[in-house]
């Protein structure tokens, strides 16, 4: 067998894993969920859950992945201990593949919108009115074309492999993302109206902490850290044995949560600046508009009100969104592609083409039945499947895989792990605390 690909360095892994984690979930999902869920109360719950639930689950994925050095299906099977757990491994593994592909199928639609608005900002600068209005028209034709463009970008990177594709592009794009974001924040915070947004974002209204908020925050945390579907598992499988997994996992969690928080400093004030300029930011029911209308109606009011610089700010904003989407979408596609190449022996190029095309077709079906399918697929994959699959992965590490073997794997790259707080807490944590808490949150929200 040819030797398996790896990330070339620790920094390469951090860029790729942070690139996967940081996406529309951070820059759009987190700020808007915060703004519509009682502001800083949501931030608080989110942070607690990110470290209490999502980080331990992330560790489970990284450890299984690096140990098995294989895709999610094969990896889970390799730590199963009998026919029953083997079946469970297949079930969880294949569910992961399917959910990752379905997440990509709606994510690519949204990312396509970002690219079309990005190009519209350029045609605005050039004064091409007709082009701009088509690019922002929300027609089926426009949606399919930009979906195809985005899928081709994603497939182009994945076809190049781990070091030459995923790592190379994450390392190029992530610093750009950070620069764009900081620049935009500075600009927006200097605008009239930004202060009101900041206040809403940062002052908690603790009376808002209800079961539904906790479930939302949990789903958001799992989505944001790309958990449950085998993404982090496969990235872990490309990591060298010299690296300390608990440390790298902690870095990725902190970076992801920080970027979500920082994105809130951009988006929430921007909403209130737009309000200052006359945008209607509330629905008829008095709730803050949080869905696609926020990005594609409210923020454009803001850009238009800025005069000449508006097109430049819009360009920077939609470039930021496009980059964030791309470094995440590649990690979704890698999940089924790694399975196909490792199990069928197909070349990476061929596997990428077939799977990418299949996902494109699914996305097109969603576009054709947008009202019925779009929200449904999002809820099914992110609110339910991701946390439940996260429970499965915790069960594999906590109950099925032998504790000595888990220890042996974490010891690689972290020789003194047994004497650390991590090893005192984490094993019992993934075994009892995580599954119980995740399931309890579900049950609570269903009966609550």
Cβ pair 65, 235 in contact under 8 A: yes
- Map the footprint of ligand PHE across residues 390-429, applying CB under 6 A: none
61 and 391 Cβ atoms separated by less than 8 Å: no
DSSP 141-153: HHHHHHHHHHHHH
Between 37 and 331, name the residue whose CB sits nearer to ligand PHE: 331
The reply on whether position 23 binds ligand PHE by CB under 6 A is: yes
Tell which one of 41, 54, 62, 103 touches ligand PHE (CB under 6 A): 103
Distance of closest approach, residue 315 Cβ to ligand PHE, in angstroms: 21
Residue 332: partners with Cβ closer than 8 Å, 6 or more residues away: 100, 101, 103, 104, 107, 226, 229, 231
Question: Per rule CB under 6 A, is residue 315 in the interface with ligand PHE?
Answer: no
326: nearest Cα among 92, 133, 109, 111:
111
By CB under 6 A, residue 26 contacts ligand PHE: yes
Chain positions 321 to 350 lying near ligand PHE, rule: CB under 6 A, are 328, 331-332
- Tell which one of 12, 25, 165, 219 touches ligand PHE (CB under 6 A): 25
- Binding track over 253-292 against ligand PHE, x by CB under 6 A: ----------------------------------------
Give yes or no for residue 105 binding ligand PHE (CB under 6 A). Answer: no
231 binds ligand PHE (CB under 6 A): yes
Residue 345 tokens, joined: 């022996």
Which of residues 46 and 422 has its CB atom nearest to ligand PHE in the complex? Answer: 46
Residue 224 near ligand PHE by CB under 6 A: yes
Q: Indicate the SS3 state at residue 383.
A: helix
Residue 102 in the binding site for ligand PHE (CB under 6 A): no
**Of 169, 223, 317, 422, which lies in the binding site for ligand PHE, with binding defined by CB under 6 A?**
223
Q: Counting contacts by CB under 6 A, is residue 355 touching ligand PHE? A: no
For residue 391, the minimal CB distance to ligand PHE (Å) is 16
Instruction: Quote the CA–CA distance of 389 and 394 in Å, as a whole number.
Output: 9
Q: Rounded to an integer, what distance in angstroms lies between the CA atom of residue 250 and that of residue 369?
A: 40
SS3 of 73, please? helix
Q: Does 14 bind ligand PHE (CB under 6 A)?
A: no
Smallest separation, CB 47 to ligand PHE (Å): 15
CB atoms within 10 A of CB 186: 10
**Which run of H or of E encompasses 365?**
helix 348-368
* Residue 327 near residue 158 (C-beta atoms within 8 A): no
**What does the binding site for ligand PHE look like in residue numbers (CB under 6 A)?**
20-21, 23-26, 100, 103, 223-224, 226, 229, 231, 328, 331-332
């Amino acid at each position: 067998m040819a030797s398996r690909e790896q990330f070339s360095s620790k920094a390469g892994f951090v860029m790729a894993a942070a690139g996967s984690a940081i996406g529309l979930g951070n820059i759009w999902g987190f700020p808007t969920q915060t703004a519509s869920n009682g502001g800083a109360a949501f931030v608080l719950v989110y942070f607690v859950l990110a470290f209490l639930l999502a980080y331990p689950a992330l560790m489970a994925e990284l450890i299984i992945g690096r140990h098995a050095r294989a895709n999610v299906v094969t990896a889970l099977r390799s730590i199963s201990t009998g026919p029953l757990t083997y079946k469970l491994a297949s079930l969880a593994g294949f569910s992961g593949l399917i959910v990752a592909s379905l997440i990509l199928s709606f994510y690519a639609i949204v990312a396509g919108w970002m690219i079309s608005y990005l190009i519209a900002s350029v045609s605005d600068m050039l004064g091409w009115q007709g082009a701009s209005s088509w690019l922002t028209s929300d027609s089926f034709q426009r949606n399919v074309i930009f979906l195809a463009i985005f899928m081709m970008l994603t497939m182009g990177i994945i076809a190049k492999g781990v070091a030459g594709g995923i790592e190379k592009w994450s390392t190029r794009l992530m610093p750009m993302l950070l620069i764009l974001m900081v620049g935009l924040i500075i600009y927006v915070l200097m605008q009239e109206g930004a202060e009101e947004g900041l206040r809403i974002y940062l002052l908690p209204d603790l009376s808002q902490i209800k079961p539904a908020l906790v479930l939302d925050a949990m789903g958001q945390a799992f989505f944001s850290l790309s958990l449950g579907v085998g993404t982090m598992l496969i990235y872990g499988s490309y990591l060298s044995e010299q690296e300390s997994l608990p440390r790298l996992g902690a870095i990725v969690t902190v970076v992801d949560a920080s970027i979500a928080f920082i994105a809130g400093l951009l988006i929430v004030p921007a909403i209130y600046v737009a309000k200052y300029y006359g945008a209607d930011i509330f629905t008829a029911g008095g709730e803050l508009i949080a869905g696609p209308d926020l990005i594609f109606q409210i923020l454009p009011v803001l850009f238009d009100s800025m005069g000449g610089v508006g097109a430049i700010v819009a360009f920077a904003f939609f470039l930021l969104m496009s980059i964030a989407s791309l470094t995440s979408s590649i990690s979704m596609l890698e999940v089924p592609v790694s399975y196909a190449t490792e199990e069928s022996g197909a070349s990476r190029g061929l596997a990428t083409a077939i799977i990418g095309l299949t996902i494109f077709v699914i996305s097109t079906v969603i576009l054709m039945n947008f009202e019925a399918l779009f929200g449904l697929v999002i809820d099914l994959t992110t609110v339910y499947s991701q946390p439940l699959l996260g429970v499965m992965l915790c069960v594999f590490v906590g109950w099925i895989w032998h504790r000595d073997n888990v220890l042996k794997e974490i010891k690689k790259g972290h020789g003194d792990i047994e004497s650390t707080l991590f090893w005192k807490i984490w094993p019992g944590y993934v075994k009892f605390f995580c599954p119980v808490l995740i399931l309890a949150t579900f049950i609570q929200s269903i009966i609550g």
